[in-house]
Amino acid sequence: MSHHLDKLIHLFTSILPISSKEVALIHQLSQVQSLQKRAQYSAYGSICKKIGFVSEGIFKVVRTNAQGQDFIPYFITEGHFAVDLESFTQQTFSEENIVTLTPCTVVTIDKKHFDLFENEVANFSKIISHLKEKALLEKHRLKSEMLIDDAVTRYQKLRLRHPAIIQQVSQNHIAQYLGISPYTLSRIRAHS
């Protein structure tokens, strides 16, 4: 199980150094969780009290639009974090569900230990700030592409950037993410 923690530490140290004492603290207070397919990691209407580094597997983020329809604004893949960032940092009620689409292994840090790391791990706040900035830029790019690109282009970009999603996620979820019907997705796939 420690190799999952090692992936997280490797990500952190690729940004800024962390001492061996600080690494030991992170190992001690982080929890490795194995989640089955369709497990809810974070729930709409609750306060997000944990952040999870996805070591293996794929999550979907589900939101509800003004018409009451669910949509998937993005997937969370290996090497990224499963968290409603606004709910986690502001301790406000979440406006999204985070659910596993495949069996997943996640390194979970609860809010209390996250706050402790910010005080006890010298570069932790800078590392997290860097990761937040990177995630926000990626989400901005995705939102822009959803507005600008047609469904065929969005599918092709998804296939190039995230082949694991194409291979492991149901066509219904991919269609929901792309904002098209499963039938339209089948036609796009047939011509790709």
CATH code of the domain occupying 2-134: 2.60.120.10
Handedness of CA 161, 82, 177, 169 (dihedral sign): positive
Domain definitions of the chain by residue range: 2-134, 149-192
The pLDDT value recorded for residue 83 is: 97
pLDDT tens digits, 113-131: 999 999 999 999 999 999 9
pLDDT at residue 1 tops 70: no
- Region 44-51: mean pLDDT is 97
Share of the chain above pLDDT 70, in %: 99
What confidence category does residue 143 fall into, taking pLDDT thresholds of 50, 70 and 90?
Answer: confident
**CB under 8 Å to 151, separation ≥6 — which residues?**
178, 179, 180, 184, 185, 188
CA distance 30 to 135: 21
